[in-house]
Amino acid sequence: SSIPTSTPGSASAAVPLAASSPQPPPASPDMAPVNDGEDMDTAEIARQVKEQLIKHNIGQRVFGHYVLGLSQGSVSEILARPKPWNKLTIRGKEPFHKMRQFLADEQNILALRSIQGRQRAVLIIIVRQLLSQMKSTQAEGTPKTSASCSPAPESPLSSAEESVNGLAGDPLASQSSGLKPLSEDPSGGESQPGTPLPLPGHSGLSIQEMVAMSPELDTYAITKKVKEVLTDNNLEGQRLFGETILGLTQGSVSDLLARPKPWHKLSLKGREPFVRMQLWLQDPHSVEKLMDMKRLEKKAAYMKRRLSSLSDSHSVDGVLPGPDYMQGSQSPVGQQQLKKPRVVLGPEEKEALKKAYQQKPYPSPKTIEELASQLNLKTSTVINWFHNYRSRIRRELFIEEIQAAGGMGPGSEGGSPSLRGSKSGEGDSCDGTESEGTVETRQGLGVGLEDHRGACKDQGMEVESEAGGSNDSPAELDCSASGLAGPGSSCVQSGLGIFGLTEASSTSSASSTNVPARNPRDNNLRKKKAANLNNIIHRLEKAASKEDPSEWEF
């Protein structure tokens, strides 16, 4: 009700999304007076707007569309290079009036955030309708196999389709976008990534809807719990769990479990596996089902072996099918020839790239060219390496921060899984720990880490400035004492709202015994960073907790 209506001028530009979309929140005529007498700090307004957009995960497109009635490009321009007030025309000043108005009332911001959420929900509903139409028009006689419903990866519907089908109780129809079209396996014998089992309960909601409505989940606690459950039940295989429950490959599961990202750093899509894990943990029959799958797989593997041994004995002239032939029902040879061999960088090449990274985390095209020619690599390989390295360093660094923050997360078990048992010699972990392997062995070294911190400063990743040195929040406090342990807290996420994970992260105290002592300088730095991080998280959560997902309309 407090959302201002659009101005007559901007109304034409601000196109409503759909009939179900809410009232757009642009400023009303009375709220955006063009008062030429006043002087506005356009840079400050732009900065604050930017901050709010980032904080609330609101895209420039949505903001421009609903608040300013401008395109994303224009919003980017205004926010990145706001002109001084005195150089703006009356028309040019209008967006700043609207932005100021937007900032003035938190309801506006929250409304816009819910619009963003609802846009996604509306999309899902549209896709759902399209799908049901498609299904009804499809020939009913065609037997449904996992392959027959498999969307091409490039299909824009594939992801949403998977989400819609995935929980609609139709496991056969649920294929993720990760599935390659060539994976059509009429036998359906092998489980594939992208065929997660239907999730328990919530049958009316798609996974995306659930993700959108989910309160903040403690990703560390969830992965920890999942690992525990899997280990306790002799279900260590990441592949089975990934393909059956998450619809992901083993590699992805490994990554997720070893280096879970904090919830607030994940996009909606990135949160999906965690919601799936959370729902899986809640299912009383989850372990049973997975064990059944394991048994079935074993049986299938046994049958396959028998079959292959039979066919071997019948093969003519020693023409033996290779492993690829066995895996894919289509085309072994042609496919094999099309496949690019994986590039494996040698230690010298990695070393050279790392050195280049330390000097410049964002190398110019010229530098990339030079590096590529020096190392005899393709430029795309060099670009990809930098891309991946930056990304992984960020993640490793964040985990480090969380560890330092007080034993939450992977560190509470005696070191991040990514740090635990790193391969001898290989030691290419992005955290700069090289081959030291464990946290313990890193004790006292601290060299690589510092180097990377330096590098990340260059990238503007330093969080210290974010806190602005203010210590008025419970930043320095231990989570248990800071009052952050309530719902929505990332420190002790014991109450997880509708998803209700229990005893999450109950082992925060364990860290005190497992995290080795560091040198004082390192400790101070970590404490300071952790404090700032807590501060940021606290402020974000405080803001986020004001919005009640149950009020969302779908």
Partner DNA sequence: GAAGTTTAGGCTCAAGGACC
Partner DNA sequence: GGTCCTTGAGCCTAAACTTC
Chain positions 351 to 370 lying near DNA, rule: CB under 7 A, are: 362, 365
Site for DNA in 6-25 (CB under 7 A): 13
Task: Report in angstroms how near the CB of residue 73 gets to DNA at its nearest.
Answer: 3
Ramachandran assignment for 469, one of left (phi > 0), alpha (psi -120 to 50 degrees), beta (any other)? left
C-beta of 250: minimal distance to DNA in Å?
6
**How many CB atoms neighbour CB 210 within 10 A?**
22
Q: Is residue 421 within the footprint of DNA (CB under 7 A)?
A: yes
Answer yes or no whether residue 343 interacts with DNA by CB under 7 A. Answer: yes
Q: Work out how close the CB of 178 gets to DNA at its nearest, in angstroms, rounded to a whole number.
A: 3
Q: Does 385 bind DNA (CB under 7 A)?
A: yes
Token pair listed for 412: 């509470």
272 within 8 A of 222, measured Cβ to Cβ = no
Judged by beta carbon, residue 13 or residue 485, the one nearer DNA is 13
Asked if residue 399 lies in contact with residue 259, where contact means CB atoms within 8 angstroms, the answer is yes
If one counts every other C-beta atom within 10 angstroms of the C-beta of residue 467, the result is: 20
- Please select the residue that binds DNA; options are 273, 410, 411, 432, rule is CB under 7 A: 273
Residue 76 CB, shortest distance to DNA, in Å, is 4
Q: Which two tokens stand for residue 256?
A: 């997720």
Told to check if 153 binds DNA by CB under 7 A, we report yes
Kindly state whether residue 154 participates in binding DNA, applying the rule CB under 7 A: yes
State the Cα–Cα distance between residues 523 and 541, nearest whole angstrom: 26
Distance in Å, CB of 519 to DNA, minimum: 24
Q: What angle do CA 47, 463, 419 make, to 5 degrees?
A: 145
Kindly state the tokens that stand for 124: 């899902």
Torsion angle defined by CA atoms of residues 368, 77, 212 and 549, in that order, rounded to the nearest 10 degrees: 150
Report the distance separating Cα 408 and Cα 413, nearest Å.
Answer: 9
Q: Closer to DNA at the Cβ: 269 or 546?
A: 269
Binding range to DNA, per CB under 7 A, among 163-171, 270-278, 285-293, 502-510: 270-278
What is the per-residue binding string for DNA in 463-492, x denoting contact by CB under 7 A? ------------------------------
Contact 420, 257 (CB under 8 A): no
> Does position 457 bind DNA by CB under 7 A?
no
Report in angstroms the alpha-carbon separations of 212 from 60, 342, 550.
Answer: 19, 37, 11
Q: Which of 359, 384, 513, 523 binds DNA (CB under 7 A)?
A: 384
Q: How far is the CB of 165 from DNA (least distance, A)?
A: 16
Q: Which is nearer to DNA, 107 or 254 (CB)?
A: 254
Which residues 283-302 are close enough to bind DNA by CB under 7 A? Answer: 301
Q: Binding to DNA by residue 345, rule CB under 7 A?
A: yes
Q: Degrees (nearest 5) of the Cα angle 479, 482, 484? A: 70
Q: Are 530 and 404 in contact (CB under 8 A)?
A: yes
- Stretch of 206-214, 344-352, 406-414, 443-451 contacting DNA, by CB under 7 A: 344-352
Q: What minimum distance in Å lies between the beta carbon of 153 and DNA?
A: 7
Q: How many residues bind DNA (CB under 7 A)?
A: 88
Residues 501-540 that bind DNA (CB under 7 A): none
Least distance to DNA, CB of residue 476, Å: 26
Shortest reach from residue 37's CB to DNA, in Å: 21
- Interface of this chain with DNA, residues 245 to 264, rule: CB under 7 A: 247-252, 254-258, 261
Taking CB under 7 A as the binding criterion, the range among 30-38, 230-238, 481-489, 504-512 that sits at the site for DNA is 230-238
Residue 70: CB minimum distance to DNA, A: 4
* Near DNA by CB under 7 A: residue from 93, 97, 225, 390: 390
380 binds DNA (CB under 7 A): yes
Spatial distance between the Cα atoms of 162 and 150, rounded to a whole number of angstroms = 9
> Between residues 285 and 378, which has the closer beta carbon with respect to DNA?
378
* x/- track of binding to DNA for residues 33-72 (CB under 7 A): --------------------x-----xxx--------xxx
Determine which residue in the list 2, 315, 359, 388 makes contact with DNA, applying CB under 7 A.
388
Among residues 389, 406, 400, the alpha carbon closest in space to that of 354 is found at 389
Shortest distance, CB of residue 394 to DNA, whole angstroms? Answer: 5
Distance CA 119, CA 209 (A): 11
Nearer to DNA, 247 or 406 (CB): 247
From CA 483, how far away is CA 500, in angstroms rounded?
A: 19
Residue range at the interface with DNA (CB under 7 A); choices 33-41, 202-210, 390-398, 463-471? 390-398
Estimate the share of the chain in helix, then strand, then coil, as percent rounded to the nearest 5: 60, 0, 40
Rounded to whole angstroms, how far apart are CA atoms 285 and 201?
12
* Single residue of 87, 314, 340, 366 touching DNA by CB under 7 A: 340
Q: What angle do CA 175, 128, 286 make, to 5 degrees?
A: 45
Q: Which two tokens stand for residue 335?
A: 């496919």
Q: Determine, following the binding rule CB under 7 A, whether residue 193 of this chain makes contact with DNA.
A: yes
Secondary structure of residue 372 in the 3-state scheme: helix
Q: Indicate whether 403 belongs to the interface with DNA (CB under 7 A).
A: no
| String marking each residue 71-110 x if it binds DNA according to CB under 7 A | xxxx-xxxxxx---------xx--x---------------
Rg (CA), the chain: 26
In whole angstroms, what is the distance from residue 515 CA to residue 72 CA? 46
Say whether residue 314 binds DNA (CB under 7 A). no
Asked if 155 and 199 count as a contact pair (C-beta separation under 8 A), the reply is no
Cα(535)–Cα(472) distance, integer angstroms: 9
Given the complex with DNA, which of 153 and 488 has the nearer CB atom? 153
